[in-house]
Structure 1
Amino acid sequence: MEQQLEHAYEEVLRRNPGEAEFHQAVREVFDSLGPVLRKNPRYVDAAVLERLCEPERQIIFRVPWVDDAGRVRINRGFRVEYNSALGPYKGGLRFHPSVYLGIVKFLGFEQIFKNALSGLPIGGGKGGSDFDPRGRSTQEVMRFCQSFMTELYRHIGEYTDVPAGDIGVGQREIGYLFGQYKRITNRYESGVLTGKGISWGGSLVRTEATGYGTVLFANEMLGTKGQDLDGRRVTVSGSGNVAIFAIEKATQLGATAVAFSDSSGYVVDEAGIDLELLKEVKLVDRGRAKDYVDRRPGARLVTDGSIWDVPTDVALPCATQNELDENDARTLLKNGAVAVAEGANMPTTPEALRLFQEAGTLFAPGKAANAGGVATSALEMQQNASRDSWTFEYTEERLADIMRDVHARCAATAEEYGRPGDYVVGANIAGFIKVADAMLAQGVI
């Protein structure tokens, strides 16, 4: 790295000990920025790097709630309001036992650039809790969400900070959070949360947006080589909204999705994933991979190894951070994978990324490929602000336009800085420049 970048990175390590995911996210961006600093030394003079790595605000709070047995439980809540140079803080809430400050900061840091690439006026933020909704009753989830919002409400607002969902936070949780916000504030401020139900301020396509957007970006990448997804084998890790709707869009574009996963293992279905069955198992019954296999002749459940052992043309990691490692990358390359697009946040380890880049594999980083989710959240905010509701077709068209623009911006920036086809460099530099220029314009704050 350039001297200035190396110094800034050392400061990140010193000031944020033990936060490995955050360190990784910062390093991945910094590795791209040398040419930018050489061309624009004003970013160094104004300490943009240092300011960019320090959140504007970090909120940590206690979340007490009562389980069905009457026992008092305590979890920890977080909201990191990272950067508001482009607009109100925007980013999801994650409820998962792995959540700690370093995870939330890594996600918030990524969100800054993702939101910038969307072209919409939203800043970066993220939040969540180490609460695990899995295995909890609906009443327990409601009580936890109400307690969580009882603290969070004072920090958010449609012009301040607009949370959404993430792992463990779907429409059910957003509903309970919004209900408690409305109860406390006595305001129907529908733009304060996104991912809401369609009948009470939500946007059509929001549920599908991240998965759809990831596949649309992958198809745009393939288009630069005169190819597309038609007739391709696709493997998708995960089985939440992102994975399910990535499978749906890939299928619509003529691909065959042959595998998905959850924490119990992965399913291989050579005939192509049965979307309606998968939606019923995962979105309605909240079931496990085995439930799909039990009801789908010919499908098999694998409980060891990796989903990336399945031969595929296009890999879509849509589960969680660092799920695709160096060994997985070697397997994918050996099996002839031509493209990888990240539907999750930072699911590919640095070692795996390096292998894909050395092999010339088309690779779309999450801050570009999965920007469709937050982009459609911003479209939900637009509809809320205008008291309007758009059709599915119109909203999906807007999403497709945004993803084409994100792809074009990343590709053009990579070309400008001498790295044609390197979407990692293109995404990092394009996002950084937009945010950094706004920070410079607004002074030292």
Structure 2
Amino acid sequence: MSYVDDVYERLVAQNPAQPEFHQAAKEVLDSLRPVIEPNEEHYRKEALLERLTTPDRQILFKVPWVDDNGQVQVNNGFRIQFNNAIGPYKGGLRLHPTVNLGILKFLGFEQIFKNALTTLPIGGGKGGSDFDPKGKSDREVMAFCQSFMTELYKHIGPDVDVPAGDIGTGGREIGYLYGQYKRLTTSYQGVLTGKGLNWGGSLARTEATGYGLLYIVDELLKDHGQSLEGKTVTVSGAGNVAIYAIEKAQQLGAKVVTASDSTGWVYDPEGIDVALLKDVKENRRARLTAYAEERPSAEYHEGRGVWVVKADVALPCATQNELTLDDAKTLVENGTVAVAEGANMPTTPEATEYLQEKGVFFVPGKAANAGGVAVSALEMSQNSERLSWTFEEVDNKLHDIMKDIYQNISSAAEKYAKKDDFVSGANIAGFLKVADTMEAQGTAI
């Protein structure tokens, strides 16, 4: 059995009932074959793949808190510190009922390569809880966050592990978490990113993932003699990533015609009204039905269906495995030229393979949505220097980082796999940086 197959078989056996982690690991390991197989004896002797696919630490803890009725509730808390070869563990805290160990291991594993691609000194980690902030009062969210941080603070620090926001963890939650961290440590440190602008946050962090997604798509199209100008774009999701992807796409001359949430989606042939979308989702926290009611050109549809709309570029920005093989076939039939992942692993393996076979440019999330964590790392730099940069300074750095990511994954694809195989390119470029560092630091890491 080959070393790659041996490691994957071991991983599945040691991590049962964690399909998302299995899926992420298989995609990465398969794409690394051109690098691993010529040096298989060396990598096997060093057990480098085993060391890379096994988290440094898996922290599981209970989170008791009291709701507004005086009832004690108990949730599960997690932090996966996966790999710190190139810097402190870095990755978001996800608050959602679906959160479990397997999902967080998939996200933490992906984060290793994503963070390596940013060229910034940050390792990979992820955490969160099965707590659902939806429908909770501010006091209930605060009670949960304070209890969560009462355990988490023992395991994090500005040079150890720097968590951030993720699904369900926005500015409100980061504020409560940071307040409790300060209370427990009596120190003011840059230990969380996504902070408020008045207390250590970075301008452009809110926009970073969505903007970065479009910067890499723009670079991809330019590299192939095309432009976003005049292109029609479909986007799934209506959260932070989707909203700012829509905003930047339209700034770059494209027309975005869809958005979606957990209950349905809208088609707006005149182009999504970003100001109205922000008001509905960010201010009112309402469903997209409210957008459709106030926008005469918009059609609301229950369920899923964004990908049936004819478009040049598709940007899945909602959740994992949302774009299926059938959706991929529809995109190809409709003449879509590029798909880039704004969410983490939103495209199924079968859909990814089909899109690549049919010549659709496909950029995986670990490269395409790396803008968010890149600006989080820039926030860490600003905290260390006790200063803040202007929006333009941060945005320009983000633009340069995304251009570098595209060049690096494109070069790695051409050297080790095949031209424009950006999945392999992203995995290989990230792996080589982390693997070389692990070897340089010895077998303790």
What does residue range 75-114 of structure 1 map to in structure 2 within 5 Å? 75-114=75-114
* Alignment-derived partner of residue 422 in structure 2: 423
Does 1:173 find its partner at 2:173? yes
What corresponds to 2:236 in structure 1?
Answer: 237
- 2:123 alignment partner in structure 1: 123
Instruction: Specify the alignment match of 1:318 in structure 2.
Output: 317
> Which structure 2 residues correspond to residues 35-434 of structure 1 after superposition, within 5 A?
35-41=34-40, 42-189=42-189, 191-434=190-433
> Number of aligned pairs?
443
Q: Distance in 1 between matches of 2:144 and 2:172?
A: 12
Aligned partners of 1:37 and 1:44 also within 8 Å: no
The alpha carbon displacement at 1:444 in A equals 1.0
**Secondary structure of the corresponding residue to residue 424 of structure 1:** helix
User: Given the two structures, how large is their TM-score scaled by the length of structure 2?
Assistant: 0.98
Q: CA deviation at 1:40?
A: 3.3
Q: Is the 8 A contact 1:341 1:369 kept in 2?
A: yes
Separation in 1, partners of 2:229, 2:311: 13
| Kept after mapping to 2: 8 A contact 1:175/1:197 | yes
Deviations 1:106-145 (A, max 9, x none): 0000000000000000000000000011111111111111
Cα distance in 1 for partners of 2:375, 2:119 equals 12
Q: 1:236 aligns to what SS in structure 2? A: strand
Distance in 1, Cα, partners of 2:282 & 2:384 = 29
Q: Is the 8 A contact 2:263 2:303 kept in 1?
A: no
Q: Which amino acid aligns with 1:67?
A: D
Give the whole-Å Cα distance in 1 for the aligned partners of 2:45 and 2:315: 40
SS in 2 for 1:211: helix
Q: Give distance in 2, aligned partners of 1:305 and 1:62.
A: 35
Letter in 2 for 1:53: T
Aligned 8 A contact 2:265 2:304 in 1: no
Secondary structure in structure 2 of the residue aligned to 1:40: helix
In structure 2, what is the Cα distance between the partners aligned to 1:303 and 1:429? Answer: 40
Partner amino acid, structure 1, of 2:174: I
Asked whether the 8 Å contact 1:94–1:168 carries over to 2, the reply is yes
How far 1:224 moved relative to its partner?
A: 1.9
Q: CA deviation at 1:298?
A: 1.6
Counterparts of 2:362 and 2:302, CA distance in 1 = 27
Q: What code does the residue aligned with 2:399 have?
A: A
How many angstroms apart in 2 are the aligned matches of 1:345 and 1:168? 15
**Uncovered stretches (5+) of structure 2, i.e. residues with no partner:** none
C-alpha distance in structure 1 between counterparts of 2:426 and 2:149, whole Å? 34
What is the letter of the counterpart of residue 151 of structure 1? Answer: E
Distance 1:138 1:325 in 2: 37
Which amino acid counterpart does residue 340 of structure 1 have in structure 2?
Answer: V
Tell me the amino acid that sits aligned with residue 342 of structure 2. Answer: G
Give the SS at the match of 1:399.
helix
> Helix, strand or coil: the match of 1:287?
coil
Q: Which secondary structure does the structure 2 equivalent of 1:78 belong to? A: strand
d(CA) in 1 for partners of 2:217, 2:228: 8
CA distance in 1, matches of 2:304, 2:37: 45
Q: CA deviation at 1:35?
A: 1.1
- 1: CA distance, partners of 2:370 / 2:82: 17
Q: After TM superposition, give the deviation of residue 297 of structure 1 in Å.
A: 1.3
Shift of 1:383: 0.2
Aligned equivalents of 1:317, 1:305: Cα separation in 2: 12
Can you list the C-alpha shifts for 1:197-241, whole angstroms capped at 9, x where unaligned? 111100001000000111111111111210011101111111111
CA distance in structure 2 between the aligned counterparts of 1:33 and 1:221, rounded to whole angstroms = 22
Q: Give the Cα–Cα distance (whole angstroms) in 2 for the partners of residues 418 and 29 of structure 1.
A: 13
The answer to whether the 8 A contact 1:43-1:436 is kept is: no
- How far, CA to CA, are the matches of 2:33 and 2:26 in structure 1? 12
Q: Is the 8 A contact 2:228 2:252 kept in 1?
A: yes
Structure 1 residues without counterparts, runs of 5 or longer: none
CA distance in 2 between partners of 1:304 and 1:286 (Å) = 19
The runs of 4+ residues in structure 1 deviating greater than 4 Å are none
Q: Offset at 1:305?
A: 4.3
Q: Secondary structure at the match of 1:230?
A: coil
Q: Percent identity?
A: 63
Tell me, in whole angstroms, the C-alpha distance in 2 between the residues paired with 1:436 and 1:193.
27
Which SS does the other structure have where 2:164 is aligned? strand
2: distance between equivalents of 1:380 and 1:68?
Answer: 35
How far is the alpha carbon of 1:39 from its aligned partner?
3.5
TM-score in terms of structure 1 length: 0.98
SS across alignment from 2:65: strand
Q: Summarize deviations over 1:324-375 as a string: whole Å, max 9, x none.
A: 0101101111111110000000000001001101001000000000011000
Alpha-carbon distance in 1 for matches of 2:279, 2:45 = 55
Deviates more, 1:141-150 or 1:18-27: 141-150
Residue 52 of structure 1 and its aligned partner are, at CA, apart by 0.6
Q: Shift in Å at residue 307 of structure 1? A: 1.1
Instruction: Indicate the SS of the match to 2:31.
Output: coil
Provide the rounded CA distance (Å) in 2 between the counterparts of 1:284 and 1:246.
18
**Structure 2 residue identity aligned to 1:261:** S
* Alpha-carbon distance between aligned partners in 2 of 1:220 and 1:39, rounded to the nearest angstrom: 32
